[in-house]
Amino acid sequence: MTLRLDLLRHGETELGGGLRGSLDDALTDKGWAQMRAAAVEQGPWNRLISSPLQRCARFAEALGEQLELPVQLEKDLQELHFGAWEGQSAAALMETDADALGSFWGDPYAFTPPQGERVADFSTRVLAAVERLHAAYAGERLLLISHGGVMRLLLAQARGLPREQLLNVAVGHGAMFSLSVESAGLLKEVS
């Protein structure tokens, strides 16, 4: 059976742009509005799945209460941990670590940010979480509230992109995409 997975990226956060990773900052009013606008007249969903970081989880809890749906927090759907780069913007890193940033952007699987999580490990944990969701909820439609990196990874897989193009997948704040998840973890983008 197929699992329908609607992906919603968190909105703008209080500490602004840059590599948020495991930093747990809250949404701004604009971020809340971005997510509300994306979710309105979507669904219906059977349940909500969210990263436990507050920029995702607080919205999931509020929406779950509003729609009277169960909310499940899934730690394996957290953003990539950027190590020493967490909280820094690409512009700042271009001034201090341009070569390393270029290597990361060129092939994120081949270069890991200093003290960061390997993208291969990130991919393994995210895809394993999606497989667990498929096993538990095949036949349902879920809203997965997560991060840009998680969504880029899943969309790149669904689109059959080479690994070097992972960071070329555009996912703005409050963006929503839909996937079908088949057995064996096969992902397809749904329009």
Neighbours of 115 (CB within 10 A): 11
* Predicted pLDDT of residue 30: 97
Beginning with the edge strand found earlier in the chain, give each strand of the sheet holding 71-73 in spatial order. Answer: 71-73, 47-50, 141-146, 3-9, 176-181, 187-190
Q: Is the confidence at residue 115, as pLDDT, over 80?
A: yes
d(CA 161, CA 184): 18
Residue 24, beta-bridge partner list: none
Structural domain spans, the chain: 3-82+119-190
Average pLDDT for the chain? 96
Nearest Cα to Cα of residue 144 among 3, 28, 49, 71: 49
The amino acid at residue 73 is: L
Q: Is the confidence at residue 13, as pLDDT, over 80?
A: yes
The pLDDT > 90 percentage for the chain reads 95
82-90 mean pLDDT: 94
Q: Is the confidence at residue 184, as pLDDT, over 90?
A: no
99-113 mean pLDDT: 96
Domain covering 3-82+119-190, topology: Rossmann fold (3.40.50)
Q: What is the pLDDT of residues 130-159, one digit of tens each?
A: 999 999 999 999 999 999 999 999 999 999
* Predicted pLDDT of residue 123: 97
